[in-house]
């Protein structure tokens, strides 16, 4: 079972336009293409510098021609295909997620509080200092439904539950007026507490403790239920329909559907200057470099150098 930090307040909506919509290639690929072009030009200049006559001999001339044609036609075809389905003005609508680091910072600043279920956790004093800063920044609850209500009633509260507890929330009446949004711990990120990081990313094993006075037949029935009914396939797959009433599954599905409708994705939307600021900045830098190069060439062409520098 996996632990989750959840909040009831919706962080908001973020609209963005990916730079790859304009440049065709992702940023990393675009940087490699530019580096490859620069390397090819440098090699070409070195070859011409070694060959004083400027005439390339076979078969290097044929290889150079093939290389140039491949580069040229590849870019032409890519641009044709891209322009045929141009989506430079597509706007992505996504939810702004609260980051784990910002949540911890808000705990230490006493801007938010974490709701902890009594008996669920085993935080030491040092671990409390790392995660929430002080016990004053936490609130203890004893009943799971009361814990859910505490998180729903105050947007500044953050709940720490197991994913199996969220199932109880989804089938409750609280979902009519409240929704939970996970505050994820991203891949490679650490919470600062080793066991909590493992619980948030991998999950915890859980077991049932029975007394020695329990009869053998009771233990066998419990083991049979765990091995046949409460398996991972039955809890997290299509087999869940066999053990959960269809009305509850339908309620959860409608809740998920209503959440998806809150995030419309427009195929084409008008762009403001703010949305196209990145391409305009790139254009401005390119024009500045071109203007500087033009000015330098004009100055150099009108400057009289001594003869010993002209040959260079």
Q: What is the pLDDT along the chain (312 residues), one digit of tens a residue?
A: 788 888 886 655 555 556 666 666 777 877 888 888 788 778 777 777 666 665 556 566 677 777 777 877 777 777 777 666 655 555 555 566 788 888 999 999 989 999 998 887 778 888 888 888 888 888 999 988 999 999 998 888 999 998 888 878 877 888 778 888 888 888 888 888 888 888 888 887 777 778 888 888 888 888 887 777 777 676 666 666 666 677 766 776 666 666 555 545 455 555 566 666 767 788 888 889 889 988 888 888 887 766 555 444
Give the whole-angstrom CA distance, residue 157 versus residue 153.
8
Last residue of a domain, one of 53, 68, 88: 88
DSSP state of 52: T
> 138-141 and 113-117 as β-strands: parallel, antiparallel, unpaired?
parallel
- 2 with 108, same domain? yes
- 192 with 167, same domain? yes
- Check residue 311 and give its pLDDT: 45
Helix (H, G, I), strand (E, B), or coil: what is residue 5?
strand
Is the residue at 230 inside a domain? no
Last residue of a domain, one of 203, 231, 260: 203
- 150 with 280, same domain? no
Give the whole-angstrom CA distance, residue 120 versus residue 141.
10
- 96 with 190, same domain? yes
- 177 with 306, same domain? no
Domain count, the chain: 3
- 109 with 158, same domain? yes
Q: What angle do CA 74, 78, 79 make, to 5 degrees?
A: 120
Q: Are 199 and 3 in contact (CB under 8 A)?
A: yes
Determine if residue 62 is left, alpha or beta; phi over 0 gives left, psi from -120 to 50 gives alpha, anything else beta: alpha
- Check residue 150 and give its pLDDT: 92
Last residue of a domain, one of 184, 203, 222: 203
Helix (H, G, I), strand (E, B), or coil: what is residue 158?
strand
- Check residue 208 and give its pLDDT: 72
Give the whole-angstrom CA distance, residue 223 versus residue 208.
10
Is the residue at 50 inside a domain? yes
- Which residue segment(s) compose the domain that 297 sits in? 276-312
The number of CA neighbours under 13 Å toward the Cβ of 131 is: 27
- Check residue 148 and give its pLDDT: 92
- Check residue 270 and give its pLDDT: 54
- 158 with 122, same domain? yes
CB proximity list for 239: less than 8 A, separation 6 or greater: 233
- 106 with 195, same domain? yes
């Amino acid at each position: 079972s996996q632990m989750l930090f959840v909040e009831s307040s919706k962080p908001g909506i973020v609209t963005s336009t990916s730079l790859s919509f304009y440049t065709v290639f992702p940023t990393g690929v675009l940087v490699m293409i530019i580096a490859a072009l620069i390397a090819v030009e440098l090699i070409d200049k070195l070859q011409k510098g070694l060959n004083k006559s400027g005439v390339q001999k076979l078969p290097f001339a044929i290889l150079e021609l093939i290389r140039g044609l491949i580069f040229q036609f590849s870019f032409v075809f890519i641009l044709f295909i891209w322009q045929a389905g141009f989506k430079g003005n597509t706007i992505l609508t996504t939810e702004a997620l609260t980051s784990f680091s910002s949540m911890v910072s808000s705990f230490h600043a006493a801007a938010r509080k974490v709701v902890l279920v009594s008996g669920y956790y085993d935080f030491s004093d040092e671990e409390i200092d790392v995660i929430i800063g002080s016990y004053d920044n936490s609130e203890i609850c004893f009943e799971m439904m009361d814990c859910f209500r505490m998180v729903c009633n105050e947007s500044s509260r953050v709940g720490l539950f197991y994913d199996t507890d969220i199932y109880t929330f989804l089938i409750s009446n609280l979902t009519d007026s409240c929704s939970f949004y996970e505050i994820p711990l991203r891949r490679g990120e650490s919470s600062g507490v080793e066991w909590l990081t493992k619980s948030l990313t991998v999950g915890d094993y859980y077991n049932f403790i029975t007394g020695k006075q329990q009869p053998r037949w009771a233990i066998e029935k419990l083991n049979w239920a765990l091995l046949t009914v409460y398996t991972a396939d039955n809890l997290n797959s299509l087999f869940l329909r066999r053990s959960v009433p269809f009305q509850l599954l339908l309620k959860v599905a409608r809740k998920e559907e209503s959440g998806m409708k809150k995030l419309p994705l427009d195929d084409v939307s008008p762009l403001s200057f703010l949305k196209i600021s990145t391409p305009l900045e790139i254009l401005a830098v390119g024009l500045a470099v071109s203007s500087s190069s033009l000015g330098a060439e004009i100055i150099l062409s009108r400057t009289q150098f001594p003869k010993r520098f002209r040959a260079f």
